Amino acid sequence: MKKILLSITALFLGAALFAQSGYDIMKKADEVAEPKTSSSTATLTIHSKKGSDRLREVIMMSKDYGDVEKSVIVFTTPKDVAGTGYLMFDYEEDDKDSDSWLYLPAMKKTRRIASSGSESEGSFMGTDFTYQDMGDRSLNKYDYNLLGEDNIDGIACYKVECISKAHTEKDPRYISYIGKDDYILRKCEFYDRQDQLHRVLTCSDFTTIKGFTTAQKMKMENVQSGTWSLIESKNIKYEEDNLDDSFFTVAALEKGRIK
């Protein structure tokens, strides 16, 4: 009997020793393997609080250079936004802020987007996504608490609270739902400075492409305004060799090379 009790005690001690913290989980999520290159097209639906929808078609590409991942998004339709492009550099170094540029063909002007502050938290092209949402968030800029577990669309998930150390963001706190088996983000809830639920990101329609788990739909809902934006990706291609380095430049945006 004593041996059984000792074994049970050892099991509980072992579980405690190897229990993951909120930071551990978010770090593993951040380290999930991603393809070296990716390209896709997508339909972007922008739903207004009056119930009307605006549709946008975009081309998306990214390429990992080791120390930096470069991504580009170009709008192809409708005509009034065609040629608008967004270029972003996300650096491997955690404390280094990303660089991003927005090209507006109507003005024939490229504008640099600040990596922090009110501009980065502004609406991305009239959607419920912000410029900050389009890139990676630095792990070291947040504190983490493991709140427990939950089930999202039949998937067991860790529920991790992420709190900005700066406390100056429009949404300084968010809760991530991370798959227990694959550490893939399934859902995220953003809370404003009054700690009221502001926006909800839902990832769905998952598929596996060349071994990489991929959400083909990403919906950001603003629960306070009643608007939402949906990105539906298609024609997804990974690990291809035909993504020219010159695509990931301001010059490529300004010359309309990506169509």
Residue 199: per-residue pLDDT? 98
Question: Measured between alpha carbons, how far is 24 from 189 in angstroms, rounded to an integer?
Answer: 19
Mean pLDDT is lowest, of 45-59, 135-149, 174-188, for 135-149
Q: What is the pLDDT of residues 155-205, one digit of tens each?
A: 999 999 999 998 788 999 999 999 999 999 999 999 999 999 999 999 999
Asked if omega into 105 is within 30° of 0 (cis), the reply is no
SS3 state at 22 = helix
Q: What is the pLDDT of residues 4-28, one digit of tens each?
A: 444 444 444 444 434 689 999 999 9
Q: What is the DSSP letter of 172?
A: -
- Average pLDDT over all residues of the chain: 90
Residue 13: per-residue pLDDT? 41
Reported in sequence order, the residue ranges of the chain that DSSP labels E, i.e. its strands, are 37-47, 53-64, 68-77, 85-91, 99-104, 109-113, 142-152, 155-164, 173-179, 185-191, 197-209, 212-222, 227-238
Q: How confident is the model at residue 114 (pLDDT cuts 50, 70, 90)?
A: confident
Q: How confident is the model at residue 92 (pLDDT cuts 50, 70, 90)?
A: confident
Q: What is the DSSP letter of 28?
A: H
Question: Measured between alpha carbons, how far is 46 from 231 in angstroms, rounded to an integer?
Answer: 9
Average of per-residue pLDDT across 63-88: 96
Question: Measured between alpha carbons, how far is 174 from 194 in angstroms, rounded to an integer?
Answer: 13
Contacts of 59 (CB under 8 A, 6+ apart): 39, 40, 41, 73, 74, 76, 258, 259
From the list 115, 164, 170, 167, the residue with the least C-alpha distance to 140 is 164
With a cut of 60, say whether residue 3 has pLDDT above it.
Answer: no
Question: Measured between alpha carbons, how far is 30 from 239 in angstroms, rounded to an integer?
Answer: 19
From the list 168, 139, 110, 104, the residue with the least C-alpha distance to 21 is 139
Average of per-residue pLDDT across 139-152: 95
- CA distance readout (Å), 138 to 85, 89, 93, 212, 227: 24, 13, 9, 22, 27
Residue 16: per-residue pLDDT? 40
Contacts of 115 (CB under 8 A, 6+ apart): 97, 98, 99, 100
Q: Please give the model's pTM, rounded to 2 decimal places.
A: 0.89
Q: How confident is the model at residue 239 (pLDDT cuts 50, 70, 90)?
A: very high
Q: How confident is the model at residue 117 (pLDDT cuts 50, 70, 90)?
A: low
Percentage, residues of the chain above pLDDT 90? 77
Q: Which amino acid is at 40?
A: S
